[in-house]
Amino acid sequence: MKNIRQVLIYAVLAAIIVTVVVLIFVHTKNVKLAEGTGTYNMYYVNAGTNSIEAEKRVVNLVNDNTLMFNSVVDEYASGPKNSNSGLTLPPEIKIIDKMYIDNTAYINLGGGYNTLAPNLKVLCTGAIVYTLTDLSFINNVCISVEGVPVTDSSGEAFVMNRENVKNNPAIDPEKTNRQTVKLYFADNSGKLMAEERMIEVKQSLTLENQIVEQLIAGPERSTLSPTIPPSTRIKDIKTEEGICYVNLTQAFIRNTSPSTEKITIYSIVNSLTELDNVNKVQFLIEGEKLNEYGGDIDFSKPFDRDESLIR
C-alpha cells in the first residue's frame, strides 16, 4: 500500500513538472510568435571624429518590455558589427547589471569606465543614453560604476536623457520609435494595394500625420503608383472622437485627375482607418470644408473606409 501511495505521489509530481514545462514552452512560443523584427539605432563612438554615430541593427521585437530592454542592452554590449564604419565600444565599457523602472533605465558599468579619458567618458555616456532612449518606453538613463552613481555638478545622481547629454549637431535629439504601418497605393488595375512599412515615429507628430507624409512620399514597391500629388503639404492632422481631420494645401485638389480622384481619397482614408482610433476621415483644404471634390464626390462629410477598392 505504501509503495502504491509513493508511486501516485511521484506520478502527480511528474504531471506537475510536465505541465509547468509545457506552460513555459507555450509562453515562450507565444512570445516568439509576437516578435517579428525591428530596426534600432545603436550609438557607438567614432574616435576618429570624436563623435558618436548610429549603427542600425535588427532586433527581435517582443511584447514584454523587460525582455525587449534586456535584448537591446545585450545586443548593444556585443559591440558594432560593421567593421568598416570606424565605430567602437571601448573595451573599458562593461555592462555588469541592467534594469528599468518607470521609464528609466539603470545601467551599472564596470570600473574600467573610470580609466577612460574625460572626453571618451562623455562620448560613451551619450552613446549609451541615445541607444537606450531609442526604446519607446525608456525616457531617462541613470548610470553607475560598480554601484556608485554618476553624479551631476551638484553631487546628485545624474538622470540623463537626450536633452542633457552631449550629442553631435548631426544627431536629432528627438526620440523616435519604430512602428509598422499599412499604406495603400494604386496598382495597375485601378485598385488599392497595401504596402507595409516600418517607419520611425517622432513623438512631436501624430502617427496620422506621419502616415499621410509616407503616402505623399509614395510607394517603395515599383509595381505600385503614388496616389497623392507630391506638391501637397500637410497643414494639420488631428483625430477627435474617431474622426481624423486631414487639413491639406490647395495642391491636393489642384493636381489630381478625374480618373484617380476616388483612389486618391481612399488611399488616405483606408490607410488612416487601419489605426484603432480612426473610424472616419474628414478632409479640409486650407482649414475649410469643401462641398465637392472633382465635381461628383461629396467632400463635406467624413469618409468611411471602403474595402471594395482594395485588391
Handedness of CA 140, 143, 148, 153 (dihedral sign): negative
Q: What is the DSSP string of the chain?
A: -HHHHHHHHHHHHHHHHHHHHHHHHHHHHHHHHTT-EEEEEEEEEETTTTEEEEEEEEEE--S-HHHHHHHHHHHHHT--S-TTS--B--TT--EEEEEEETTEEEEEE-GGGGGS-HHHHHHHHHHHHHHHTTSTT--EEEEEETTEEPB-TTSSB-EE-TTTS---TTS--S-EEEEEEEEEEE-TTSSEEEEEEEEEEETTS-HHHHHHHHHHH--SSTTSB--S-TT--EEEEEEETTEEEEEE-THHHHS--TTTHHHHHHHHHHHHTTSTT-SEEEEEETTB--SEETTTEE-SSPEEP-GGGB-
Q: Is residue 32 part of a domain?
A: no
pLDDT at residue 196, rounded to an integer:
93
Q: Are residues 186 and 99 in the same domain?
A: no
- Boundary of a domain, candidates 160, 191, 210: 160
Compute mean pLDDT per 10 residues along the chain, 311 residues long, and list them. Answer: 56 58 46 55 88 84 84 93 86 95 94 92 93 90 95 86 76 72 93 91 81 94 92 91 94 76 94 95 92 80 95 88
pLDDT at residue 119, rounded to an integer:
87
pLDDT at residue 153, rounded to an integer:
77
Q: What is the rounded distance in angstroms from the CA atom of residue 246 to the CA atom of residue 212?
A: 9
pLDDT at residue 130, rounded to an integer:
92
Q: Is residue 11 part of a domain?
A: no
On whether the CB atoms of residues 246 and 228 are closer than 8 A, the answer is no
* Structural domain range at position 125: 37-160
- Boundary of a domain, candidates 160, 185, 201: 160
pLDDT at residue 108, rounded to an integer:
96
- What burial letters (b/e) apply to 21-45, b meaning 16+ CB within 10 Å? eeeeeeeeeeeeeebeebebbbbbb
Q: Is residue 69 part of a domain?
A: yes
Q: What is the rounded distance in angstroms from the CA atom of residue 241 to the CA atom of residue 186?
A: 29
Q: Are residues 218 and 102 in the same domain?
A: no
Q: Are residues 150 and 198 in the same domain?
A: no
- Boundary of a domain, candidates 127, 160, 193: 160
The pTM of this model reads: 0.53
pLDDT at residue 202, rounded to an integer:
74
Q: Are residues 212 and 268 in the same domain?
A: yes
Q: Are residues 254 and 285 in the same domain?
A: yes
For the chain, how many structural domains are there in total?
2
Q: What is the rounded distance in angstroms from the CA atom of residue 288 to the CA atom of residue 286?
A: 6
pLDDT at residue 186, rounded to an integer:
95
